[in-house]
Structure 1
């Protein structure tokens, strides 16, 4: 006889969600919830991915007043991050217009992951909304300023491209 689908969290899952919501690392939340140490260390992320657990996490975030804007806005802000430094003489924070590429790259990775793009090596996942996302990286051609934005003209459903990549001319 087929197993009935589970409709509610069990007690360990409930305690796990509570621990994560309290800010505990996943492994610690799983241990505190009553999972074996080996399970907590190896499968805490998998526990978090269970549909009922994810649903309860969403409810907990909503109860805490967290919205999608709270989650996405820091990534959006970081995509336009610029360098700043403390002036050693005055002690004042100096903001520049020089792009902070390290922060921008980290934010772009977070944004791509949020949209479901570029899976980890060996991971087969569907593309985000049927699109493949490719990021071209300029490996330093001697320019220190920000590159002008370029708008993609042809966006098509995902699938392997037969068009060779072309380099944009140096400005």
Structure 2
């Protein structure tokens, strides 16, 4: 019986009547590296270079430039990401739940996108409110078999699946 499938940055497993969603930073980094080496460099060189410049005052790592980078790019970017996540998640009922009891799941929708990953939305009830948990299948490596396998994981456990 199929009980798990891979997502864009982790795994989904149904064990003991609970949908367990495991997100891993390591999986996210590996997928970013596999997708685009250039994007990987744009993301991780500043992340490594900035703390190095604050600790090591050398011509290769000027401390003043590291501080400017941190203040004018790093901190505003973190604030923007936090505000955006709140602005999207609060009004839409989207959560980051890592464990969802199967008996609270109403249905699961699969949105196939032509130029992007398939989005899976788990609609479930939590404290009388309908909540949504969104996941994305691996892309561009997603195959039709992986898509059907992810649908079967939910169907085997008696959860209705819709395809849009």
Q: TM-score range by the shorter chain?
A: under 0.3
TM-score calculated relative to the size of structure 1:
0.19
Query: Per residue, is there more helix in 1 or in 2?
Result: 2
Richer in strand (by share): 2
Q: Which structure's CA Rg is the greater one? A: 1
Q: TM-score, normalised by structure 2?
A: 0.20
For CA contacts below 8 A with separation 6 or more, give which structure has more relative contact order.
2
